Chain A
Amino acid sequence: MIKPIIRLLIIGSMLAISTLFSFYTYYYGKNLIESFQYASAKSIAYTITENILSSLANAKIKGKESSSSILLSQSVLLIVEENRVTVGVGSTNYSIKIPINISITPIRTTILALNITAYPNGTIKIIKVK
């Protein structure tokens, strides 16, 4: 037989460990989801910026318009301003500043796929694909 005081200690420690684990699970899960969202937003922002600049470089070199299409794996909020591309996944935003002066059609919408067309004069049009 276990002494009542030891039994009380065992039960008390079990409760304490369970409580600690509950808090750990909550914060671990929260951080995990935030890391996922941040990595996704960052990756999508770079992919979109890469496509914008690659299309523009092709247009500049060939002297005629150049297009590219991106199909995104999840719905994102794309905000395009002068020299800046911002992508939101869930509650996480990631922004990239483009270090050259280009003219981008401003877009602020939730999208799944988009088409990018660049012209030799530096103008870029981004169209939402339905």
Chain B
Amino acid sequence: MDQALEAAIAMSIFIIVFSLVIFTTSILCSSYINNQLYSIKNSLASIIASIILIQNGVSSNSWESYSLLIDYDFLDNISYYVNITCFSIKNGELLKLWSKSNGFIINDSVGEAYRFIILDNGNAIRLEVKVR
């Protein structure tokens, strides 16, 4: 067989193997970056929950008058859902008093954060944040 043809076949085999290596690498890299993304979304949910807790503290008046429609600079094209539920605690039982949310329900969330705190008047707050 002609040497040029042999070289062409060898080159074709090299290109196929090279493509397979690149393909495998790209899959591994996408998997790594997706894992990072999952971690970032969980952090985002936790950051939003922490900011709301810092703003309201344990003041029951502050939680009752709190508006959930806040524009966060660090959320680029990311939707989030916040739900605040207030309970009274009597004889070890939780009785739901009120609940408020920002209205954008997210069922297929990527990141989530939950907080549960006791207020100055003895009631409890459950804070739920979901991020997609």
Contact = CB atoms under 8 A, between A and B. Distances in A.
Are these two chains actual partners, yes or no?
Answer: yes
Contacts of A99: 51, 70, 72-74
A61 B124 CA distance: 12
Given A14-B7, A61-B117, A39 B46 contact: no
Contacts of B18: 21, 25
Contacts of A97: 73-74
A83 to B, nearest CB: 10
Contact of B51 (A47, A61, A100): A100
Contacts of A42: 36, 40
B2 interface: yes
Interface in B1-41: 2, 4-5, 7-8, 11, 15, 18, 22, 25-26, 29, 32-33, 36-37, 39-40
Contacts, number: 89
B97 interface: no
In terms of DSSP, what is the predominant structure of the interface of chain A? helix
B8 A57 contact: no
Interface string B42-62: 011011011101110110000
Nearest to A11: B4
A26 B98 CA distance: 59
Identify whether the interface residues of B are mostly helix, strand, loop, or mixed. helix
Interface string A1-21: 110000100110010011001
Contacts of A25: 18, 22
Interface in A36-57: 36, 39-40, 42-43, 46-47, 49-50, 53-54, 56-57
B47 A49 contact: yes
Contact of B54 (A11, A36, A39, A100): A100
Contacts of B50: 50, 53-54, 56-57
